[in-house]
Structure 1
Amino acid sequence: MKKLLQGLLASIVLVSTVNAQPAPKGNVLVLLSSATTLPLKDGKSYASGFYLNEFGVPTDALLKAGYAVTIVTPKGNQPLPDEHSVDPMYFNNNSAEMQRIKTVSETLTAADKVKSIKQVLQEGTQRYAGIFIPGGHAPLIDLPGNAEVGKLLRHFHQDGKPTAAICHGPIALLAAQDQPQAFESNVIAGKSASAKNWIYAGYKMTIFSDAEEQAFEESLKGDKLRYYPAKAMAQAGGKMAFVPAWQPNVVSDRELITGQNPFSDHALAKALIAALDKSVGNSKN
């Protein structure tokens, strides 16, 4: 009987310990592309997706810092990584770390855990402490001309909640203007484009630089992107700030935090968590 009671007590203590896990500090919305085929000039295309480290490193850091994350795509489908990003070079040549982040990413992006933008908007954005947009070329496909993306971003902008994006992720910010599709179409066509009532006009920011994009295009064996994102952001009214190619660079202005390239992942994660901690702390005071 004594052993039975001891066993029951141990079970109660174990259950109590599990139930005593602290609640998340907040929930961060992570916006990824629904698409995996990037249109190029002359009707050609390139297999794409999110960059593994750009998504996995900051989201892993968020989880370790006590935040929950919710994955959202335009269609609510499962996002996929760009196979070119599953490379140890983006993890300081540490294959074990790459595999760990890959496992974390696969768990977070399981099909049954992904919401659509429409669903998030219907449920309300008040429950989210901030939003994070990873890169890879996939965001160029279905985010900058998407009015729902613009509506989503406006909620975080109006509430002054941390809004972070890395590499090509910042291109999604162009959706938060009056006519994002028209702007994108003019940029693709090489015409003069004016962003109307863009909420980030005049913000300091960064994105994958022209020099880095040119280096990427060299791998396409003569094929070309429809437009360079850095030029589009400047044309819209962003105050662009760059460092030499492939060097970490994070630019913060008001609620906006942007990272230039894949190697800015750790620095962006640190800046985002600091901004979230400050924002969440202020909301509780």
Structure 2
Amino acid sequence: MQNRTNIAAAWALGLAIIAPLPAQAQADSGAKPDRVLLVVSGHGVDGGKTRPGFEMDELSQAYAVFADNGLTVDIASPKGGVVVADRFDPKKSFNSRFAADPVASGKLGATLTLASVRDQKYAAVFVVGGKGAMFDLPVDTDLKALLAQTYDAGGVISAVCHGPAALMNVPMKDGRSLIAGRAVTGFSNEEELLFGKGWIAAFPVLLEDGLRGAGARFSEAPMMLNHVVTDGRIVTGQNPYSTFATAEAVVRALGRKVAPRETLAEERSIALIGRVLAGDAVQARAELAANPAQYDVPLVAMWGFYRAKTPGADRAMLEKAVAVMEIAQPHFAEPQLVTAIAEARGKLTPGQ
């Protein structure tokens, strides 16, 4: 489980099948569809090996939610044109859906420049995450102007995972930061130390620290669980597994009823983990055993594995990690999972 490639493979998600994206959906009210801008980093090179870029999973999920809810979507990056995502699984349902849609893939293949849209009126701006967002988005003056103007005009400002880095230093007319005193979330220090070790030395600041330094009131859920914070017209999501919920919170902030959609296996799995942490391990185990095909069992197992590896994990954290791994173990034939459970239990044994 130490091998990052194997870990990434184990975390392959997106088992549900979703219908093709509509070229242009109609708003529920029959009014002219509002426009939403998705912002992605242009920092990436070589699939994130040389320089990190944006997260394709987050882009495709957000695009699907907005399109399905009657919103017209544009995609922009600092310099426009072709942008490079970090490595991703093209077979995930939301990614394959995006790739199969010529309008969606065409917009990503020729992103707008932020300079060209800085004076446009958008109902919402949604900043996609990925570690590349830590490098080029926080210093882009066109993006700062667009975010400030959109908010002043009554629009919704939103971001997920590392995307909130773009919100750290956005000056408003009164001289205050956009997020000063506002409740936000983003990729936490705990998550960064577990999953971002390859790049955090190059970050100007850890995202959580930067958001707190900008005067925001930061909150977080346990690592990689769904967590969305809405503070008026500012909507932020903690990590990739918060993307669907973050985009749907934006739809609600725009005064729209969220269109129903099929829940994915990864979402059910993240919710299942949350229930174990809340003390409902017995029922969670029963539900997983009753229909394991409805869940991403490797995801559940790997969550427990990483939680047990958290630096400074206390007894309560280790107990929860073991509980999560143990509900997955009967459905995940992985010897290393057995070893991880034994190691965690050893730490819980008095005198170890």
TM-score by length of 1: 0.71
Q: Distance in 1 between matches of 2:93 and 2:156?
A: 31
CA distances 1:185-244 after superposition (whole Å, capped 9, x unpaired): xxxxxxxxxxx62122000000100010001234x3x97343311101101101001010
Give 1:53's aligned residue: 57
Given the alignment of the two structures, is residue 198 of structure 1 paired with residue 177 of structure 2, yes or no? yes
Given the alignment of the two structures, is residue 244 of structure 1 paired with residue 239 of structure 2, yes or no? no
Question: CA, structure 1 residues 232+65, in 2 after alignment: closer, same or farther (shift >3 Å)?
Answer: same
Q: Distance in 2 between matches of 1:58 and 1:268?
A: 8
Give 2:107's aligned residue: 108
- 2:154 paired residue among 152, 160, 164: 160
Query: Offset at 1:77?
Result: 2.3
- Between the two proteins, the alignment pairs up a number of residues equal to 225
Q: Secondary structure at the match of 1:71?
A: strand
Contact 1:76 / 1:117 at 8 angstroms: preserved in 2? yes
Given the alignment of the two structures, is residue 34 of structure 1 paired with residue 12 of structure 2, yes or no? no
Query: Offset at 1:76?
Result: 1.8
CA distances 1:23-74 after superposition (whole Å, capped 9, x unpaired): 7521111111121159xxxxxx843211111111011111111111111111
User: What pairs up with 1:6-155 in 2 under 5 angstroms?
Assistant: 24-37=32-45, 46-83=50-87, 86-87=88-89, 95-104=92-101, 106-111=105-110, 114-121=111-118, 124-126=119-121, 128-155=122-149
Give 2:253's aligned residue: 275
RMSD: 2.9
More strand by share: 1
Contact 2:45 / 2:84 at 8 angstroms: preserved in 1? no
Contact 1:145 / 1:174 at 8 angstroms: preserved in 2? no
Question: CA, structure 1 residues 176+159, in 2 after alignment: closer, same or farther (shift >3 Å)?
Answer: same
Q: Distance in 1 between matches of 2:93 and 2:210?
A: 37
Q: Distance in 1 between matches of 2:65 and 2:124?
A: 14
Give 1:231's aligned residue: 209
| Percent identity between the two aligned chains | 29
CA distances 1:102-129 after superposition (whole Å, capped 9, x unpaired): 4445333022xx22121113xx322x21
Question: CA, structure 1 residues 175+37, in 2 after alignment: closer, same or farther (shift >3 Å)?
Answer: farther
Query: Offset at 1:96?
Result: 4.1
Gaps of 5+ in 2: 1-22, 258-352
Q: Distance in 2 between matches of 1:145 and 1:37?
A: 19
Q: Distance in 2 between matches of 1:207 and 1:169?
A: 8
Query: Offset at 1:250?
Result: 0.3
Q: Distance in 2 between matches of 1:230 and 1:260?
A: 10
Q: Secondary structure at the match of 1:215?
A: helix
Q: Distance in 2 between matches of 1:215 and 1:265?
A: 20
Higher normalized contact order (CA 8 Å, seq sep 6+, divided by chain length): 1
Question: CA, structure 1 residues 229+37, in 2 after alignment: closer, same or farther (shift >3 Å)?
Answer: farther
TM-score by length of 2: 0.58
Query: Following TM superposition, where does structure 1 have runs of at least 4 consecutive aligned residues deviating by more than 3 angstroms?
Result: 20-24, 94-98, 101-105
Contact 2:148 / 2:171 at 8 angstroms: preserved in 1? no
- 2:236 paired residue among 241, 244, 258: 258
Q: Distance in 1 between matches of 2:77 and 2:180?
A: 25
Question: CA, structure 1 residues 223+246, in 2 after alignment: closer, same or farther (shift >3 Å)?
Answer: closer
Q: Secondary structure at the match of 2:190?
A: helix
Contact 1:171 / 1:233 at 8 angstroms: preserved in 2? yes
Letter of the 1:140 counterpart: M
Contact 1:24 / 1:67 at 8 angstroms: preserved in 2? no
Contact 1:37 / 1:141 at 8 angstroms: preserved in 2? no
